[in-house]
Amino acid sequence: MATELYHFVGGKKVKGTSGRFGDVYNPTTGELAAKAPFATAEEVRAVIQNSQDAFAGWAATSPLVRARVMFKFKELCEKHADEIATLISNEHGKVHSDAKGSLQRGLEVVEFACGIPHLLKGEYSDNVSRGIDLYSMRQPLGVVSGITPFNFPAMVPMWMFGVAIACGNTFVLKPSEKDPSCPLRLAELMMEAGAPPGVLNVVIGDKVAVDTIITDPNVKAVSFVGSTPIAHYVYSTAAAHGKRVQAMGGAKNHMIVMPDADMDQAADALIGAGYGSAGERCMAVSVAVPVGDKTADALIEKLTPRVRALKVGPSIAPDSEMGPLVTKEHLAKVKGYVDHGVKEGAKLVVDGRELKLQGYENGYFMGGCLFDGVKPEMKIYKEEIFGPVLSTVRVDTFEEAVRLPSEHEFGNGVAIFTRDGDAARDFANRVQVGMVGINVPIPVPLAFHTFGGWKSSAFGDTNQHGPEGVRFYTKIKTVTSRWPTGIRAGAEFNIPTLK
């Protein structure tokens, strides 16, 4: 019998009252695992109000105390790492080692946020004019919200709430309804770490919940990760309602392989970056770009046996390299893209569409697919597939290799594999993409830097986590101060100037 899930509000589990539910499946078995309540607009507004009520007290809490709560939260997540990773694997399908790794990347942002007393320090200028001092301070916004995707149910929420809560805001999290158990557990651990009730609330829902969050006047900022059409919708709607917005969208990440690259290293990088997490990563490499036919032939020769040898299996099996896709519907969508690529004339070198696992015939599995001869006008090149499908686009020159990702609609991540430092430096400077890897296939910056793409991959002026995250979740206040010195200068009617 499927478990009925709940919202987490004010430090407690709260039963949904709408009567509407979403089905949560175990993608390894295809079995219904849980029923997630879909909140009404009234329920969402009540959650936001609960966070609003908690804000004043949390904002007034010393940054040192807030940092200690984050330290404790990190410690508890590490203690329960296997439990959290299993929740992710059972609802998303990500293999256990990958789930645990994604948790660690989220905790690195929490670790960064533990330095919030230093990160919130303002600036001070002494005696800018006679007896006048000038200083600035960063203060929290109020209630802020995160709307997060199914593919990283721990990492992406922590990229958001780790910094936001440390800065003194209260946070309303609307996770994906496909795998909400992990975010609910994180909220419980945040309370156990010492955060007051209402500092981190979790509400499950669909478009009703999203629309309420992005229009409610008590929500001051919204962070979103998901598909580009929804990212644009969230950005435009929330911004029109006076909110700060960072909305991360889709991607089509290229990996350039130069003729001088180590082909074994490049092939291994493409296998991990293209097929890890079944390709359900916004930073997955989905396009290989070998320069020259000789390079392309050598790369395809290296890739083909590696793709065929991928160990596809249950998400919690220790030897699985790739698990199932998240839902039956998404599996059908990805297979449909492969069908379309074949119709468009691309060469399907490895076909994983008919993979079946004995004992898991109802699971949402497919094997890795490898295309060669893909052209820029093809649908499988232009659109984000979000599955274990790697397209190879052959180019003749380095200039074409720079131009291909630069002219694509998306601009999230890109990589180049080469031994030529001059070519790598030139590529990094000129390519029109937000995150660049040099002999690194998935260039996700560490927590003390910042994550964000360009073009249709991101909407808004601020990126995720790092110093940009601190700026996004705070507003700056500047104070000009003068104390009486016993000297009266009389009324001044001109604008103050330096004297």
* Predicted confidence (pLDDT) per residue in 418-442, tens digit: 999 999 999 999 999 999 999 999 9
Over pLDDT 90: what percentage of the chain? Answer: 95
Q: State the average pLDDT over residues 72-79.
A: 98
Mean pLDDT of the chain: 96
pLDDT band at 487 (very low <50, low <70, confident <90, very high): low
Beta-bridge partner residues of 133: 481
Beta-bridge partner residues of 244: 221
pLDDT of residue 496: 67
pLDDT band at 256 (very low <50, low <70, confident <90, very high): very high
Question: Which domains, ranges and CATH numbers included, belong to the chain?
Answer: 3-249+457-479 (3.40.605.10), 253-438 (3.40.309.10)
Distance of alpha carbon 213 from alpha carbon 205, whole angstroms: 11
Give yes or no for residue 486 having a pLDDT over 90.
Answer: no
Distance of alpha carbon 371 from alpha carbon 389, whole angstroms: 8
Q: Which residue bears the tokens 């990492």?
A: 155
pLDDT of residue 489: 62
User: What string of DSSP letters covers 447-489?
Assistant: TTS-B--EETTEESS--BSHHHHHHHTEEEEEEEEE---S---
pLDDT band at 495 (very low <50, low <70, confident <90, very high): confident
The b/e string for 186-201 (b: 16+ C-beta within 10 A; e otherwise) is bbbbbbebebbbbbbb
> Residue type for 26, please?
N
Write out pLDDT tens, residues 367-390: 999 999 999 999 999 999 999 999
Q: State the average pLDDT over residues 235-259.
A: 98
Distance of alpha carbon 219 from alpha carbon 39, whole angstroms: 17
Q: State the average pLDDT over residues 243-248.
A: 97
Q: State the average pLDDT over residues 297-315.
A: 98
Distance of alpha carbon 144 from alpha carbon 47, whole angstroms: 12
pLDDT of residue 446: 92
pLDDT of residue 488: 60
The closest of 206, 193, 184 to 9, measured between CA atoms, is 184
Residues acting as catalytic residues? 282
CB < 8 Å & 24+ apart, contacts of 185-188: 185/80, 185/83, 185/84, 185/87, 186/77, 186/84, 186/154, 186/157, 186/158, 187/8, 188/8
